Amino acid sequence: MIFQEVQGVRVPALGFGTYRLTGEECVRSVADALALGYRHLDTAQSYDNEAEVGRGLRAAGVAREEVFLVSKVRPRHYAHGRAADSVRASLDALGTGYVDLMLLHWPAEEAAVAAALEDLAELQREGLVRHVGVSNFPSALVARAAQVTRLFCNQVEYHPFLAQRRLLAQAAELDLLVTAYRPLAKGLLGAEPLLRALGARYGKTPEQVALRWLVQQPRVATVPKSADPGRRAANLDVFDFALTPDEMAAVHGLAHGQRFVAPDDGPAWDE
């Protein structure tokens, strides 16, 4: 495992995403991921699986403090009191006394974001939330949110086809973790000739090359999801090879602004 050090905290760079995993399949997948060696779990209030993620965590028998557990507040809960109540409900569902990181899932109207961040800061003082962050925030909104409370992370879409240069530079300035979601680019990596060639060089798949490229960057983590035990294991099997600086740069060169998560009411993205 590679650990990213952010604000003096060591975060396992390769985590397990749980979007679209629900019910017993989610419990089994999370327990299996932890048995394989994943130590970072990503859920959200809107995934409707916090209880199952918590059950998977208990079933695995891994000590709570070994796992970096992340969830996200739904935008409809962004109001004073309501955000805090929603996080308490998340903790009840998860069955854990705290989360390592609680994110605001999407930007919203500025006063609502500020109210939710103030609630999270209060929960942080109470020890229920270790770190506070945002998700899907472009750099201008990160800068404003950072004036309300200390941020730890911005979780955004990031893969070889979307560069996120501005957000990575901002993360270096503010000492933030960047967690890359949708790292597998909707199944399009397998056809990419450079990723295939690098995979052939190291005995890896194009997906493994892309995951390695992500976690080899400073302050970048990623949370691939798989419902399949073989792909779950393969996605974690990226720590026995390293890309050279030239190979890293070549993968960076694949970016062409391709974004898969772009709702109509989304923010004005950096790129």
Instruction: Please identify, using beta-carbon distances, which residue of 125 and 129 lies nearer to ligand NAP.
Output: 129
Q: For residue 241, what are the β-bridge partners?
A: none
Instruction: Please identify, using beta-carbon distances, which residue of 84 and 184 lies nearer to ligand NAP.
Output: 184
Give the C-alpha distances (Å, rounded to integers) separating 255 from 156, 220, 259: 15, 17, 10
Question: Where do the DSSP E strands lie in the chain?
Answer: 3-6, 9-12, 16-17, 40-42, 68-73, 99-104, 129-135, 153-157, 177-181, 220-222
CB 44 within 8 A of CB 17: no
Instruction: Please identify, using beta-carbon distances, which residue of 18 and 90 lies nearer to ligand NAP.
Output: 18
Instruction: Please identify, using beta-carbon distances, which residue of 98 and 181 lies nearer to ligand NAP.
Output: 181
Q: DSSP letters along 66-115, please? A: GSEEEEEE-GGG-STTHHHHHHHHHHHHHT-S-EEEEEESS---HHHHHH
In the bound complex, what is the minimum distance in angstroms from residue 243's beta carbon to ligand NAP?
17
In the bound complex, what is the minimum distance in angstroms from residue 55's beta carbon to ligand NAP?
17
Which residues are near ligand NAP by CB under 6 A? 17-19, 42, 105, 135-136, 155, 181-184, 187, 207, 223-228, 231, 234-235, 261
Instruction: Please identify, using beta-carbon distances, which residue of 19 and 241 lies nearer to ligand NAP.
Output: 19
Cα 218–Cα 9–Cα 112 angle in degrees, nearest 5: 90
CA-based nearest residue to 243, from 216, 222, 205: 216
CA-based nearest residue to 183, from 151, 216, 152: 216
38, 47, 98, 181: which is the annotated catalytic residue? 47
Is 19 a catalytic site residue? no
CB 134 within 8 A of CB 108: no
Catalytic residues: 47
